A and B are shown apart, each in its own frame.
Chain A
């Protein structure tokens, strides 16, 4: 329905549905789907083994319990049986064989997939504690909210700026680690539009808990519109907030394209207001939250690498006003 609505141009008024609940059993992309189907096979084999063995244990403890002093003699002393031993060696070996073949097939289907000319490429860079997304073809740079078009293969080239992270959106795909000094890759081809939440899944220091991923799956048209908008530079406003921002410490770490601000340690803020959250998905963007953040980032997200000299209330207010113009 949302797809149809988007086609007739209603998308702007429709709030994209947020999929905060991420079950690995509700896959919405090919890798997650392949993992899900394999998991059903594994789960049913495991459930059968569990039922048989637990059934045996229950039978044995009921049937062979000591019923008291009537039978005082020791039971017959049995030392083993080679036939039985061979049987319960061979059956597990067969199960292992089946599972290995299934694993091999699905592992290479997912892992060895190569991009085609039509695949979208996104460079994903993990930072303590936020995500940077760079689109090499369109030169778009954004943070924490990854936009991809529905129905198309997107390859995520994973790199880390500091320590090991891991990229995980359960409904899209299992994890791939994001490791400094290495280039890892994963791919997704989301089938539904909406916002999908994920997390950094490898412990990466103090704020590992607040390294959330928001994946925004757009219709192809919406995605093109979004890309076009993101490619634009910011307009200079000559406001008090802009002056405070550009003359202060902010530009050491943040970029605003179109303005003399090109720091690269923190998120690109050129189109800050096109996102709905900040602090890597920690807080919704509101005036209130932004003021709290600028007054004392450490009080909001303790340990964050945004370590700043205190700002006056006047500067905070002006800067928030400026940030609100970065649409």
Chain B
């Protein structure tokens, strides 16, 4: 079994290994966050010292983006895309395995820094410059030792993994589709993963380039970002956010992909406005590259630039609104079943709506001058990545677990997990909006009494306890269901995409015989010969 893990090039095994990797780093980085919230529960606490706290939030953010979010995206793409398009495997199975291992080693390297890197405090110093690592704080004058190098190298490794996965997904989608599976008939999930892969290919080079420039600065006397020698601190910010903002969509679009599969099945209707959904996805893909400087409204760009980036950012709201309305349109007139995957999708809809609206607030430049770099931003992006992405990933786990393992997750534990995480999420992140509007900057390791921040921080910290229990429930649900969950059969949800047309778990070769594809819901056509989709194509 273990040897099989090391040598496998099977897309399903690699997909599941990506899930395990993501969950493992999720528990680690979640633990770091829990320590931060304990420290911030009360004013003037000294549970951890300043330097430690700075390492906690740096590694937490870096992990969640590069070693939880990205591997989970890779997991979804790897496991599901070949099955959904009727392929036997990915186009480049060995490259696929390489991508997994290089990403894993990137993550391990990041955590190794806790034991072997050197920093201000001698041996055992993790990176502490924040996940977007603004220059020149990362230069050797301010970050001596090797901790920043661990950060740079782990991200370069993670970036290589993401890039090869993206290449593989594009090649697979374009060349390996089964007979009848035209681009127009591809599941929305596959469409979205295709757009995301394209974004990865364009967004990662600026990041890798910036990391290499930083390494040159640190060790070969270059001065790209070294302001004491005429380098430019803002240049780093442009490079980083030219990656960083598309990255947000790279992470959230796969969440949209899951929702776009789950909501139709549990509403018993096809996705509403399929063509508009594909169009909205592609336009988000393009617009995402023209909004990066909204992270930089306070750096002193000319007012014309600030207004341009406000307008482009607000524009993202249009395709996003189309998506939300189309999901609601899909539920309209349906027969909605409230199984756990659907519960997560409904919570996602409301939470992502709020995330979008706080995003609109911050797109408005003058309002953003007040909100940026405050706890409001912390709340906003946790609404996007936790209330948005993570909720859809939980939904995806409950939805596809039976396909991958052959057994159902317990609905009873699942609903308990759902309600606990909803409560925990809102307790933790809702009050942070208020703390931010009352002047609390992000990334402070402690705060004095009397600034009006105490209540909000305490509530926020209490929420973490709910999240912790919820996560234990999820882990228990997975472990116990693997052994004694109800046997799923090939199609427990009565769904319509190709992966549900093979046994659970699917055989190593995926498809014994090709399933005829004449529309975007091939299994619906098989189940309803009297009312097939292809009549309406």
> CB-CB contacts of A177-197 with B at 8 A, as 1s and 0s?
101111011000000000001
B310 touches A64 (CB 8 A): no
- CB neighbours (8 Å) of B373 from chain A are 166, 168, 175, 201-203
B335 touches A42 (CB 8 A): no
Given A38-B367, A65-B336, are A96 and B439 also a contact pair (CB < 8 Å)? no
Q: Is A151 part of the contact surface with B, judged by Cβ < 8 Å?
A: no
A61 touches B367 (CB 8 A): no
- CB neighbours (8 Å) of A201 from chain B are 298, 372-374, 441-442
Contacts A78-B269, A208-B443, A209-B443 given; 6 further ones with Cβ under 8 A?
A: A50-B354, A57-B328, A88-B321, A95-B317, A103-B366, A179-B300
B51 touches A75 (CB 8 A): no
Across the A-B interface, the 3 shortest Cβ-Cβ residue pairs: A174-B369, A209-B444, A22-B439
The residue of chain B having its C-beta at the shortest distance from the C-beta of A58 within the complex is B350
- A53–B315 Cα distance when bound, in Å, is 19
B322 touches A42 (CB 8 A): no
A contact residues, range: 35 or more
B438 touches A21 (CB 8 A): yes
A100 → chain B, closest Cβ, in Å?
Answer: 5
- CB neighbours (8 Å) of A198 from chain B are 439
Give chain A's interface residues, CB within 8 Å of chain B: 20-25, 32, 34-35, 38-39, 42-43, 45-46, 49-50, 53-54, 56-57, 60-61, 64-67, 71, 74-81, 84-85, 88-89, 91-93, 95-96, 99-100, 102-104, 106-108, 110-112, 128, 162-164, 166, 168, 170, 173-177, 179-182, 184-185, 197-209, 302-303
B336 touches A64 (CB 8 A): yes
Chain A contact residues: helix, strand, loop or mixed: mixed
Q: Is B49 part of the contact surface with A, judged by Cβ < 8 Å?
A: yes
- A74–B528 Cα distance when bound, in Å, is 10
A197 → chain B, closest Cβ, in Å?
Answer: 7
- CB neighbours (8 Å) of A174 from chain B are 298, 366, 368-370, 372
- A88–B326 Cα distance when bound, in Å, is 9
The residue of chain B having its C-beta at the shortest distance from the C-beta of A74 within the complex is B268
Given A53-B353, A96-B317, A177-B300, are A197 and B451 also a contact pair (CB < 8 Å)? yes
B188 → chain A, closest Cβ, in Å?
Answer: 12
Q: Is B511 part of the contact surface with A, judged by Cβ < 8 Å?
A: no
A77 touches B531 (CB 8 A): yes
Q: Is B303 part of the contact surface with A, judged by Cβ < 8 Å?
A: yes
B438 touches A23 (CB 8 A): yes
B300 touches A21 (CB 8 A): no
Given A103-B310, A103-B366, A179-B233, are A80 and B272 also a contact pair (CB < 8 Å)? yes
The residue of chain B having its C-beta at the shortest distance from the C-beta of A198 within the complex is B439
- A197–B272 Cα distance when bound, in Å, is 52
- CB neighbours (8 Å) of A64 from chain B are 267, 331-336
- CB neighbours (8 Å) of B452 from chain A are 20-23
Q: Which of A38, A95, A181, A199 contacts B439 (CB 8 A)?
A: A199
Sampled A-B contacts (17; CB under 8 Å): A42-B360, A46-B361, A57-B350, A60-B328, A77-B531, A80-B275, A100-B310, A177-B299, A179-B233, A179-B300, A185-B300, A199-B444, A201-B374, A204-B137, A205-B137, A209-B50, A303-B51
Q: Is B282 part of the contact surface with A, judged by Cβ < 8 Å?
A: no
> CB-CB contacts of B187-214 with A at 8 A, as 1s and 0s?
0000000000000000000000000000
B270 touches A77 (CB 8 A): yes
A99 touches B364 (CB 8 A): yes
Given A42-B360, A64-B333, are A35 and B51 also a contact pair (CB < 8 Å)? no
Given A100-B311, A182-B234, are A66 and B360 also a contact pair (CB < 8 Å)? no
B332 touches A60 (CB 8 A): yes
Interface size on B, residues (CB 8 A): 95
Q: Which of A81, A181, A302 contacts B51 (CB 8 A)?
A: A302
- A133–B357 Cα distance when bound, in Å, is 38
A83 → chain B, closest Cβ, in Å?
Answer: 11
- CB neighbours (8 Å) of A185 from chain B are 300
Q: Which residues in chain B, 368-420, are within 8 Å of chain A measured between CB atoms?
A: 368-374
- CB neighbours (8 Å) of B346 from chain A are 57, 61
Which of the segments B84-92, B224-232, B482-490 contacts the partner chain? B224-232
B370 touches A20 (CB 8 A): no
B120 touches A102 (CB 8 A): no
B370 touches A181 (CB 8 A): no
B304 → chain A, closest Cβ, in Å?
Answer: 8
Q: Is B276 part of the contact surface with A, judged by Cβ < 8 Å?
A: yes
- CB neighbours (8 Å) of B140 from chain A are none
- A184–B306 Cα distance when bound, in Å, is 14
Q: Which of B51, B336, B361, B363 contacts A206 (CB 8 A)?
A: B51
Q: Which of B275, B300, B360 contacts A99 (CB 8 A)?
A: B360
The residue of chain A having its C-beta at the shortest distance from the C-beta of B329 within the complex is A84
A184 touches B318 (CB 8 A): no
Q: Which of B331, B335, B338, B364 contacts A102 (CB 8 A)?
A: B364
The residue of chain B having its C-beta at the shortest distance from the C-beta of A197 within the complex is B451
B59 → chain A, closest Cβ, in Å?
Answer: 14
- CB neighbours (8 Å) of A184 from chain B are 299-300
Q: Which of A32, A107, A181 contacts B231 (CB 8 A)?
A: A181
A85 touches B273 (CB 8 A): yes
Q: Which of B298, B307, B317, B370 contacts A35 (CB 8 A)?
A: B370
A170 → chain B, closest Cβ, in Å?
Answer: 4
Q: Is B65 part of the contact surface with A, judged by Cβ < 8 Å?
A: no
B439 touches A78 (CB 8 A): no
Given A43-B361, A64-B332, A206-B54, are A78 and B272 also a contact pair (CB < 8 Å)? yes
Q: Is B536 part of the contact surface with A, judged by Cβ < 8 Å?
A: yes
B445 touches A180 (CB 8 A): no
A35 touches B369 (CB 8 A): yes
The residue of chain B having its C-beta at the shortest distance from the C-beta of A53 within the complex is B353
- A15–B258 Cα distance when bound, in Å, is 60
- CB neighbours (8 Å) of A46 from chain B are 357-358, 360-361
The residue of chain A having its C-beta at the shortest distance from the C-beta of B310 within the complex is A103
Given A42-B361, A166-B298, are A209 and B269 also a contact pair (CB < 8 Å)? no
A72 → chain B, closest Cβ, in Å?
Answer: 9
- A127–B23 Cα distance when bound, in Å, is 40
- CB neighbours (8 Å) of A176 from chain B are 298, 300, 369
The residue of chain B having its C-beta at the shortest distance from the C-beta of A110 within the complex is B366
The residue of chain A having its C-beta at the shortest distance from the C-beta of B353 within the complex is A53
A85 touches B446 (CB 8 A): no
Q: Which residues in chain B, 124-172, are within 8 Å of chain A measured between CB atoms?
A: 128-130, 134-137, 141-142
Q: Which of A54, A91, A103, A168 contacts B350 (CB 8 A)?
A: A54
B272 → chain A, closest Cβ, in Å?
Answer: 5
B365 touches A88 (CB 8 A): no
- A56–B366 Cα distance when bound, in Å, is 31
B338 → chain A, closest Cβ, in Å?
Answer: 7
